[in-house]
Amino acid sequence: MGVTVVTHPLVQHKLTIMRKRETSTAGFRRLLRETSTLLCYEVTRDLEMTTTEIETPIMKMSSPVLEGKKLVFASILRAGNGLLEGMLDLVPAARVAHIGLYRDHETLMPVEYYFKAPEDIVNRLIIVVDPMLATANSAIEAINMLKRRGATNIRFLCLLAAPEGIKRFTEAHPDVPVYTAAIDDHLDENGYIVPGLGDAGDRMYGTK
């Protein structure tokens, strides 16, 4: 299904500021929210449309609207929430799933601690969001969890990806397109993206 790198100048400019060591927690959160609206625009660019009959103050017309059931945004906790808010600004009627996973710092394997999704995810488009795709273990497992519950139409949206993560993710879920603002150079021995931006959750919430 492929990988789309969102090269929009505003996305790239904001990402550069987010990468900077000296960017504050408040600044990082604000920039991530702003960037997420731009990324949301790209990931929803080809949504199916239909038309509906409406009446303007001037005349009746047939006008375009989104087709199908409401979207689901699935946030991989906790850092996924940094993308979620801006996306909900653009698509306020979207349903939301929360997937609680954290990366064990020794094994780099995801540990599940929460899952809550709308019941009827089977026929909906689900956009899974997490700022970082590093080893891809978290994203792969989050999508396994959704697929086990019947989801078939899934996209994955992140801010930064490592080439190793892209490779593993597309091998594990070849049916899930990936959208990212950048693909960095490599992963370091601790599984951090290089040059990256550090730990996204810590930078968003000031926990380190």
> Which entry of 78, 103, 124, 155 is annotated as an active-site residue?
103
Element (H, E) at 67: none
Residue from 134, 139, 159, 178 in contact with ligand URA (CB under 6 A): 134
Reading the block at residue 32, the tokens are 């991530």
Q: Judged by CB under 6 A, does residue 193 bind ligand URA?
A: yes
As a whole number of angstroms, the distance between CA 103 and CA 96 comes to 22
Indicate the residue among 7 and 207 with the shorter CB distance to ligand URA. Answer: 207
Q: Judged by CB under 6 A, does residue 85 bind ligand URA?
A: no
As a whole number of angstroms, the distance between CA 151 and CA 77 comes to 19
Residue by residue, DSSP assigns 110-165 as EEEEEEE--S--TTSEEEEE-SEESSSHHHHHHHHHHHHTT--EEEEE-SEE-HHH
SS3 at position 53: strand
Indicate the residue among 6 and 136 with the shorter CB distance to ligand PRP. Answer: 136
CB of residue 132 to ligand URA, shortest distance in Å:
4
Residues 133-152 touching ligand PRP, rule: CB under 6 A, are: 133-139
Q: Which residues pair with 59 in a beta bridge?
A: none
> Which entry of 16, 51, 107, 152 is annotated as an active-site residue?
107
| CB half-sphere exposure, 23, CA atoms < 13 A | 21
Provide the pairing of β-strand 178-180 with 3-5: parallel
Stretch that binds ligand PRP, among 33-41, 50-58, 175-183, 196-204 (CB under 6 A): 196-204
The question of whether 103 is a catalytic residue gets the answer: yes
Q: Judged by CB under 6 A, does residue 199 bind ligand URA?
A: yes
Q: Judged by CB under 6 A, does residue 32 bind ligand URA?
A: no
Partner touching 102 among ligand PRP, ligand URA, none, CB below 5 to 8 Å by kind: ligand PRP
Partner touching 196 among ligand URA, ligand PRP, none, CB below 5 to 8 Å by kind: ligand URA
Question: Using CB under 6 A as the criterion, which residues of the chain lie in contact with ligand URA when the complex forms?
Answer: 132, 134, 191-193, 196, 199-201
